[in-house]
Amino acid sequence: MSFRVLVLCTGNSARSQIGEALLATRGANRAAGRVEAASAGSRPAARVNPWAVQTLAAHGITWHDGVPKTIDSLGDAAFDLVITVCDNAREACPYYPRARAQVHWGLPDPADETEAGAAQRAFSATYAALAERVDALLGLPLETLDAAALRDAAQGVHDTREQPAW
């Protein structure tokens, strides 16, 4: 049985796509049990941000088939954990009702950077922040935690780390 994680944000084109890709690749062969990942957004963009695809590729993750999805496209799918990655200051994070636990890993949107050098730095910092959090999350005994303990542990993964700076 797999542990299912959904990563949500507004546009589903950058942070949530990177989070899904990291969870899908690093969670596929997890010794404690397989993690399945998905992502969606409340107002999906037309396409995955090319900087997200390029950043993932730089780390050996092929993500050319990623497509922004709406939360409604998930239907009645249930998830063990939902992680929102919206920036609290500027975006309204979506809520997903069919989750055992939901946490918020607020990160600035790297897609706000439009100059090539700044965008590359922003996406690299976002990747690094999410990779650190995903690795810590995957190290938890996810399958054995009750809903409250899962929520607290998964939120603690974010709260004990620094915000990315670019």
Length of the chain: 166
Identify the burial level of 3 via C-beta atoms within 10 angstroms of its C-beta, where 0-12 means exposed, 13-18 middle and 19 or more buried. Answer: buried
Q: ∠ CA 44-105-102 to the nearest 5 degrees?
A: 80
Phi, psi of 61 (to 5 degrees): -110, 115
Q: ∠ CA 159-5-121 to the nearest 5 degrees?
A: 55
Q: Among candidates 126, 117, 83, 116, which has minimal Cα distance to 101?
A: 83
Active site amino acids: 9, 86, 93
Q: Which two tokens stand for residue 112?
A: 């706000």
Exposure b/e, 29-48, CB count within 10 A at least 16 = b: eeeeeebebbbbbbebbeeb
